[in-house]
Structures are given as structure tokens and as C-alpha cells.
Amino acid sequence: EIVLTQSPGTLSLSPGERATLSCRASQSTSSSYLAWYQQKPGQAPRLLIYGASNRATGIPDRFSGSGSGTHFTLTISRLEPEDFAVYYCQQYDSSSYTFGQGTKLEIK
Amino acid sequence: QVQLQESGPGLVKPSQTLSLTCTVSGGSISSGGYYWNWFRQHPGKGLEWIGYIYYTGITYYNPSLKSPVIISLDASKNQFSLKVTSVTAADTAVYYCATTISPHYFDYWGQGTLVTVSS
């Protein structure tokens, strides 16, 4: 099973700043199989990025994804107040799916 | 646009069976290509994939799950279901259903339902 490790656990930033979230896989995974989600309290996860770098429908272009192999990054170019939430990376391997433990993005 | 809604009891006694249903609207559960999934999220924790049923009825479950689970599909009601047998307190979680036409990510989610296992 591929284990995803996200860092940092908590990121404290101010609106307008740039956020960089990391997701590392325990072994190489295809970029096609890496996705990012945003989750706000009491809500279901929302797909942001699929295939490591493709924005899902309706996702603002301040969200971008990159990476390959074992290291993937989610970047939010200029934080808006509604972006403060928990972010998860997810991968698919051999008909199974795993998630990272999440990065909490909080207002500084 | 596909919409999903979970339903089921919010409280289940230990050793009993947890049963949840996901009702699909805005699309047919038996239309081609969709994967119908269940997830759970323990309180304050991350997401855990439970398994899926493909529109053909083929199922696949998380091999790391300790709890015995069954996912089934009822095309006549446009629903799919989750059963977790012999539950313990460790099965207390918010349960989500979700679907995708891609086998690699999940783009439509239900709102989630909290199930507590307690006597």
C-alpha cells in the first residue's frame, strides 16, 4: 500500500499570501492517479485537482498542482478567506485508494 | 449533475450491523462507467476509502479494512448500500458516498452521515 505523507500538518498564513502544501508518496505513483481535495468543517471533501495538475470543474485558477513520482505540491497563489480549510492528497494504486493525513490551512 | 444523499440510523449498538443507503439523483446508477463508492472519516481524522461497486455489480473493498463490509446496488431504486457487520466503537465515523466516472478520483460526494456505535 502506498502511504501519503502531507506536510506541514498545519500552515498559518494570512489572506493574500501564497500557500504551498506538500504530499510525499512512499513509492512512485503515476501523476494521473494523484488528486487533491479541500474539506471545510461539517462538509464533504471537494475535488480541487486531478491528474496532479488538472483543475476540477469550477475551481479557481489560484489553485494549481504539480509534481511527479513521489513528490506532489498544491499551491494556492493568493489566499482568499474561503480557502482556509483542510487539504488532502489522494492516490490510486492497484484498485485501492489512500489519502494523506491532511494539512490544515489556518488564518494567521 | 449527479447528486448523492446518505441515509440510515445514526446510532448502532456494538456487534450489530450498520446499514446505510446512498440515493442517487440526476443520473442513473446503472448507466455506464460509474464507480459508486463509500468512505468514512473517524472523528477529527482523515479519510478512509471503504470500497466501491461498479455499475456492472463488481465490487472491490479496501484490503486494509478490519471491519467486514458489503456494498450492494439496487438499480430499481437508484440506490447503493453499505453494510458493516459486527460493529465496534472503532466504526464510529461520518460515512460518505461518492461517485466518479474516472477510477482515479472522486468528484461527486454526498453530504455525509454520522454513525455512532454505542450501547
DSSP state of B64: T
Q: In the predicted model, what is the mean pLDDT of chain A?
A: 96
Rounded distance, CA B93 to CA B115, Å? Answer: 6
Is pLDDT above 80 for B81?
yes
Contact of A36 with chain B, judged by CB distance below 8 Å, is answered with no
How high does pLDDT run on average in chain B? 94
Q: Is A82 left (phi over 0), alpha (psi -120 to 50) or beta?
A: alpha
Mean pLDDT, residues B46-59 taken together: 93
Task: Give percent helix, percent strand, percent coil of chain B, each to the nearest 5.
Answer: 5, 50, 45
Q: Which of A33, A6, A9, A14 is nearest to A83 (CA)?
A: A14
Contacts of A95 (CB under 8 A, 6+ apart): B60, B103
The predicted structure's pLDDT at residue B31: 78
* Number of CB pairs, chain A paired with chain B, less than 8 A apart: 56
Side chain identity at residue A21, one-letter code: L
Inform me whether the pLDDT recorded for B32 exceeds 80: no
Interface of A with B in 78-97 (CB under 8 A): 88, 90, 92, 95-97
Output the pLDDT for position A26: 95
Do B49 and A102 lie within an 8 Å CB cutoff? no
Instruction: Give percent above pLDDT 90 in chain B.
Output: 81
Could you tell me the three cell numbers for A16? 493574500
Give the C-alpha separation, A40 to B40, whole Å.
16
Q: Give B111's strand partners.
A: none
| B70-88 average pLDDT score | 96
